Amino acid sequence: MLPAYLEQLSHILGPNDLVVSPAQSNPLLIDERQLYRGRAAAIVQPRTTEQLSQVVSVCAKANVAMVPQGGNTGYCGGATPDESGLQVLINLSKMNQILDIDAASLTLTAQAGVVLADAQNAAANQDMLLPLSMGSQASCQLGGNISTNAGGLAVLRYGTAREMVAGLEVVLPDGQIWSDLKGLRKDNTGYDLKQFFMGAEGTLGIISAAVVRLQPRPRAQITAFLETPDLASAVSTLMLLREHLGDCITSFEYMSREALMLTLVQLNDLRNPLPAATGNFVLMELAAFDDGAGLTEQLTRALQVAILKFDVGDCVVAQNDTQRGDFWRLRESIPEAEKRAGGSIKHDVSVEISKLSEFAVELQKNTLAYVPGCRISLYGHLGDGNIHFNVLAPPTLSAAQFKREFADPISALVHSAAINRDGSFSAEHGVGRLKRDLLASSKDPVGLQLMRKIKRTLDPNGLMNPGKVL
Ligand code: FAD
Ligand code: MLT
Ligand code: ZN
């Protein structure tokens, strides 16, 4: 016989929307990086906010812990239940309706389970741009993006997910619905409550719908692949380009030679746009609201200065959408290439952009001294001061053995280097379960106390994604 609360859930949800005692091999119980394998009393997939609210209310009354899950692409184990088998996994994939697109207000309103790429396409079909973009966009969901305050490839110009949210609807840990989907540009009536839920990784409530801000869609995108000797030169080049071109630079992504070569080896249908280059690389994109010819000329002139001043090398500009797609595929495939190579010890750190080069050079030196021969796949969102410092096994060790023996000490090395420079150990991927203890040991104590007070106020029984973040 089912426990009473599961019986109640079966009356709220359709027969295909509730799986009781799912097998541990169910992919929804394993995180993207396969660091955690959870168990669950049930997996539920509500279709409406009302259903979600009823589900949460039933679980809360039965004192059952809940784990919200979007596309399950997160990197910190935040969407995976623990091993007790007592938690309910609430997967939002069936709440996937786009509710409204308002061209005058430049907003899109959607249920939280809408896949990011579907939201991007819906905006593009109406000649607008949803600028949030990342390698996982075919799977991750708006609710997950907002809950992790995801960054991605165009933060430089448009900000992180948080900056794109104009309104939220949230099911609170007791099942109440808090709805603020008006999408107003201006509303100073007290605390901005939506801020609590963004970046909270599902620990304060479940986002059921959101209003996201759109942008006018650029008429032309200038996408350029540039050779650069090192990070320092790339940072100087970005500063120079900003002086010359203003804020039309939407992306400025760094790819170390090691990261690019690894990608070319692992995904052999990809091609290096600069095969003769011997240095590192930058992929940049600029947005124009005309045919882009003038901006391309300005870029060329600015790069001529960069060649003289900062020793940058050759540059190739995409001539059509196919080429643009090819350039981006190289950048977006780096995580997949690392996976195919057996996986890496991943990091997502940020420091002030002025400290970025010195930080990375020293870290590279220290890491290589610690594990001679290891491969460092360094790449990321240079324009945001955020790099992924991912470390792969040296040829003498298998990837599995390397990760088992070295994940903790190498991560400690990388994270302490970032923290010691007033940087962040998690620039965009969040905390989840993976970095919870690091947060507890490194966050300012007053800030941590405030976070705990907020958690206790909104979730006094600790039922919403327990063991994550805090
Ligand atoms: P999930 O993984 O399902 O969940 C993430 C967290 O949010 C969990 O704590 C979960 O409990 C919570 N959550 C999910 N949905 C809700 C909801 N509706 N309400 C409340 N809480 C919820 N991240 C970046 O920031 N930038 C990148 O460039 C980037 N690139 C990536 C590339 C690849 C190939 C991959 C695999 C991942 C990448 N990521 C990146 C990480 C990941 O895609 C993002 O963190 C994304 O925002 C997670 O969305 P999701 O829907 O998959 O969330
Ligand atoms: C990216 O920028 O590609 C991701 O955030 C990093 C990763 O997938 O490891
Ligand atoms: Zn990233």
- Looking at the predicted structure, is the pLDDT value of residue 412 above 90? yes
Residue 207, SS3 per DSSP: strand
Ligand 1 mean position, distance from CA 68 (Å): 11
pLDDT, tens digit, 9 for 90 and up, residues 307-354: 999 999 999 999 999 999 999 999 999 999 999 999 999 999 999 999
pLDDT, tens digit, 9 for 90 and up, residues 30-45: 999 999 999 999 999 9
Q: How are beta strands 215-216 and 18-20 bridged, if at all?
A: unpaired
Q: What is the pTM of this model?
A: 0.97
pLDDT, tens digit, 9 for 90 and up, residues 201-221: 999 999 999 999 999 999 999
Instruction: Using alpha carbons, select from 396, 410, 404 the residue that is nearest to residue 366.
Output: 410
| 107, 194, 213 from 183: Cα distances, Å | 7, 11, 8
Q: What is the pLDDT of residue 146?
A: 98
Among all bound ligands, the one having the nearest atom to the CA of 151 is 1
Q: Ligand 2 in contact with 135 (CB < 6 A)? A: yes
Ligand 1 mean position, distance from CA 73 (Å): 5
Ligand 2 mean position, distance from CA 439 (Å): 20
Residue ranges lining ligand 1, Cβ < 6 Å: 32, 67-75, 78-79, 92, 112, 134-136, 140-141, 143-145, 147-148, 150-152, 201-202, 206-207, 335, 428-429, 432, 465, 468
Work out the number of other CB atoms within 10 angstroms of the CB of residue 147.
31
Ligand 3 mean position, distance from CA 331 (Å): 10
| 201, 225, 227, 307, 366 from 314: Cα distances, Å | 42, 8, 6, 9, 31
Ligand 2 mean position, distance from CA 289 (Å): 29
Q: Ligand 2 in contact with 423 (CB < 6 A)? A: no
What is the residue type of 78?
Answer: G
Sign, Cα dihedral of 157, 241, 127, 330: negative
Ligand 1 mean position, distance from CA 246 (Å): 31
The pair of three-digit structure tokens given for residue 371, joined into one six-digit string: 């594990």
Question: Do you know the residue count of the chain?
Answer: 470
Nearest atom, ligand 2, residue 136 CA: 8
Among all bound ligands, the one having the nearest atom to the CA of 75 is 1
* Residue of 90, 120, 147, 156 to test ligand 1 pocket, by largest number of atoms within 8 Å of CB: 147
The pair of three-digit structure tokens given for residue 120, joined into one six-digit string: 């991007």
Give the mean model confidence (pLDDT) for residues 103-120.
98
Q: What is the pLDDT of residue 361?
A: 97
Nearest atom, ligand 1, residue 201 CA: 9
Burial string for 197-216 (b: 16+ CB within 10 Å, else e) reads bbbbbbbbbbbbbbbbbbbe
Average pLDDT, rounded, for the chain:
97
First to last CA, the chain: 35
Q: Are 240 and 252 in contact (CB under 8 A)?
A: no
Ligand 3 mean position, distance from CA 25 (Å): 28
The structural domains of the chain, ordered by start, are 4-91 (3.30.43.10), 98-216 (3.30.465.10), 220-335 (3.30.70.2190), 343-420 (3.30.70.2740)
Strands (E) across 172-328 are located at 177-180, 206-213, 215-216, 220-228, 249-255, 280-288, 315-317
Q: Ligand 2 in contact with 385 (CB < 6 A)? A: no
The pair of three-digit structure tokens given for residue 197, joined into one six-digit string: 């839920």
pLDDT, tens digit, 9 for 90 and up, residues 81-105: 999 999 999 999 999 999 999 999 9
Among all bound ligands, the one having the nearest atom to the CA of 134 is 1
Alpha helices (H) along 13-152: 49-61, 116-125, 142-147
* Residue of 156, 334, 347 to test ligand 2 pocket, by largest number of atoms within 8 Å of CB: 334
* Residue of 254, 283, 348 to test ligand 2 pocket, by largest number of atoms within 8 Å of CB: 348
pLDDT confidence of 370, banded at 50, 70, 90?
Answer: very high
Which residue has its alpha carbon closest to ligand 1 atom 10?
79
Among all bound ligands, the one having the nearest atom to the CA of 346 is 2
The pair of three-digit structure tokens given for residue 194, joined into one six-digit string: 């939506």
Residue 294, SS3 per DSSP: helix
Q: Are 210 and 165 in contact (CB under 8 A)?
A: yes
Q: What is the pLDDT of residue 24?
A: 93
Q: Ligand 2 in contact with 335 (CB < 6 A)? A: yes
Ligand 2 mean position, distance from CA 141 (Å): 16
| CA 211 – CA 108 distance, rounded (Å) | 6
DSSP class of 327: H
Nearest atom, ligand 2, residue 428 CA: 5
pLDDT, tens digit, 9 for 90 and up, residues 175-199: 999 999 999 999 999 999 999 999 9
Q: Ligand 2 in contact with 68 (CB < 6 A)? A: no
Which residue has its alpha carbon closest to ligand 2 atom 7?
335
Q: What is the pLDDT of residue 1?
A: 84
Residue with tokens 């327990």: 466
Which residue has its alpha carbon closest to ligand 2 atom 9?
335
Q: What is the pLDDT of residue 155?
A: 98
Instruction: Using alpha carbons, select from 40, 38, 47, 39 the residue that is nearest to residue 15.
Output: 47
Ligand 3 mean position, distance from CA 231 (Å): 16
* Residue of 338, 339, 347, 388 to test ligand 2 pocket, by largest number of atoms within 8 Å of CB: 388
